[in-house]
Amino acid sequence: MDLKNQRQDYHTKVLLEEEIGMNPFELFTAWFLEANQVEAEANAFTIATSMNNRPQARTVLLKELTNDCFVFFTNYHSTKGRSIESNPNVSMLFFWQKLERQIRIEGVASKTSATYSDEYFYSRPIESQIGAIASTQSAELNERYVLEDRIKELTAFYKTNPIIRPENWGGFAIKPSYFEFWQGRASRLHDRIVYEVNGDSWKRGRLYP
Ligand SMILES: Cc1cc2nc3c(=O)[nH]c(=O)nc-3n(C[C@H](O)[C@H](O)[C@H](O)COP(=O)(O)O)c2cc1C
């Protein structure tokens, strides 16, 4: 593997103060809409959590952007769920390769209401609902057939019984206090614009690349 000579130059776009406003949600939305046209799964992002000084990152899917929060769904008993329970400070990362863009977000995560989680849970295909019930996410699974047998059992059971969302499955809403918008530029002289929460508004700045 010749990684040292693997080099990509970025030159398609720029990020200038005069072209953006003071609201990071508006810029996120504009970038997201563009990414959604060209990236396979623009709503996939990495979420890093930290429990007992052990940082852990994984990909999840953005399912809603409300007025002030980013929402994803998961199992509250999973590693990430327990991590957020013990330390709600999280970091999110979107990387949109075709646009040569990255967005870093830091914020605090909290569980969405049961009603909100229900609404999304029941909108999912039945197979996904059964999957969420069958998977004790992040617990050790000795053999795959154990999960497959459980899915068969539950699928038969739910032919005649109503499905109920497990209490340990639902949404997390992340309220951001920091955004960094990164636009790749030539010769590694990238643009980095940051927004930090400042009372009811946002303070905007620029970082060296
Ligand atoms: C593209 C992609 C999307 C994913 N979306 C989710 C998601 O929305 N929710 C989720 O719980 N896991 C999702 N996963 C799986 C997680 O990355 C992870 O494997 C799982 O949640 C267990 O993580 P944990 O043990 O750190 O809790 C996704 C994985 C990929 C690659």
CA distances to 12, 74, 170, 177 from 122, in Å: 41, 14, 11, 31
- Phi first, then psi, for residue 109 (nearest 5°) are -100, 140
> Do 76 and 67 form a contact (C-beta atoms < 8 A)?
no
Give Cα 157 to chain centroid, integer Å.
33
Active site residues: 188
Q: Kindly give the distance from the C-alpha atom of residue 111 to the centroid of ligand 1, in angstroms, as a whole number.
A: 17
- pLDDT band (50, 70, 90) for residue 89: very high
Write out pLDDT tens, residues 135-178: 999 999 999 999 999 999 999 999 999 999 999 999 999 999 99
CB–CB of 31/101 below 8 Å?
yes
Residue 68 CA to residue 185 CA, distance in Å, equals: 30
What is the model's pLDDT at position 186? 96
In this prediction, residues 54-66 reach a mean pLDDT of 98
Q: How confident is the model at residue 91 (pLDDT cuts 50, 70, 90)?
A: very high
Query: pLDDT value at position 54?
Result: 97
pLDDT digits (tens, 9 = 90+) for 182-209: 999 999 999 999 999 999 999 999 999 9
Find the residues whose C-beta lies inside 6 A of ligand 1: 41, 44, 56, 58-61, 72-74, 78-80, 137-138
- Pocket perturbation via mutation, ligand 1, pick of 43, 52, 60 by most ligand atoms within 8 A of CB: 60
